[in-house]
A and B are shown apart, each in its own frame.
Chain A
């Protein structure tokens, strides 16, 4: 009974930690799925575009652009 109470009390924290780990795991798995040089290059092109888009936003927020 006491164990169940402890588990119920910890449930929100356990779920939160699992969700945080899931996001990291998904990012890692997505990158790991890529196979072959052409796919890696496509992935790198997409990554570079996203870095550029976000750099422009950050520069705007910093008042640099």
Chain B
């Protein structure tokens, strides 16, 4: 017990500090950095939702933006035609993400590995072409126009500049709530079942798990959070276009998860912050910024295979997150007692 408290104390302090920093941001940051931070927080939700699927369940999707975009269009259309209420948009985005994930996941989950990746890509590309060609509904590739500024609880309106701090708090509260919810999910028996599927799907079946249902449930939960993130993003930008569904966004969020360290929620947080900021800074500084970004990805694969989360574990005994690296096992082999002692007591502790 004492040991556990001691190990947990620094983490608790860190979390508190982070919350204070988040709360103080509108007083300490200028308008532009605050906008970037708001955007990062929305991407955090999106990346965590993919991490649930990829890092925890082992299902790598290259079409996750589909649910982000569907949530975004749903919130956008509601705001154009019915109500600017932010919370209604949020709920509708969540629901739309979940419903579209049921429909597509039910088909996609039948295939595996690269075929699964390609099928998720196919569905998002299909949705992309629907969004592009159904002009009367979506505005085509020009995007949806006429989205009313989101009306926040309490009645304040956000239109990109006006009331940015209020909108920021709204996003921050939603993001923290999403993090806590997903943390509950990954530590629950269901979350452990997902890890089991990632590690050894065949054995899960022989233990009596109806694996398909668990995968579908993970897919739908991930789709719901992605839809919620999409609706938030539309409220943030007052705009939605087919790019919100497209391949590039799907690839970007997958990179966020991998760079952050798949299989740890805080990795998804770090990854989205890192990639968004890096992209903004690089594109401002270099014309060939994509080449630099590519080189950074390559460096991650070689030198930091467990992502920023691995770096954090290495640096600070933060060693939480029983989930190691997603996907095909690491090269670390053999019953080296030293390795397992250090890494794994933390692993076992993480869930209590």
A and B together in one complex: no
